[in-house]
Copies of this chain bind each other. A is one copy, B any other.
Amino acid sequence: MVYVILVYDIDESRVAKVLKICRKYLIWVQRSVFEGEITDGNLELLQAELGRLIKDEDSVMFYITPTKKNFKRKTMGKSKEEGRNIL
């Protein structure tokens, strides 16, 4: 099990499909940002699904850490999940 922060920059024509895939595995915390605990197996599945969909001009970045205790998160302005504190 690892903790992942996923950020993407996807062409308009594909972003809805990428969003749908990411929501199956992670929590949507900002317009193009997802977070959450995920098994190594599911992380591979997620990357494979995205790999079949995205094109070279798209970008998906994964920040992978063993535990969410390795970082603090601070939000300025609105946060996507009002009232639901991830950390």
Which of B33, B47, B51, B58 lies in contact with A7, CB distance below 8 A? B33
Whether, in the assembled complex, A70 has its beta carbon less than 8 Å from a beta carbon of chain B, the answer is yes
Identical chains in the assembly: 2
- For chain A, give the interface size range: 35 or more
- Neighbour of A51 across the interface among B29, B62, B72, B76, CB < 8 A: B76
Beyond contacts A33-B61, A50-B76: 6 other A-B pairs, Cβ-Cβ < 8 A, are A8-B30, A30-B61, A61-B79, A62-B76, A63-B63, A70-B70
The 8 Å CB contact of A63, one of B57, B58, B71, is B71
Decide if B73 touches A71 in the complex (CB within 8 Å): no
Proximity bits, A66-78, B CB within 8 Å = 1, else 0: 0000111111111
Give the complex CA separation of A59 and B32 in angstroms: 11
Known contacts A7-B33, A9-B30: does B78 contact A57 (CB below 8 Å)? Answer: yes
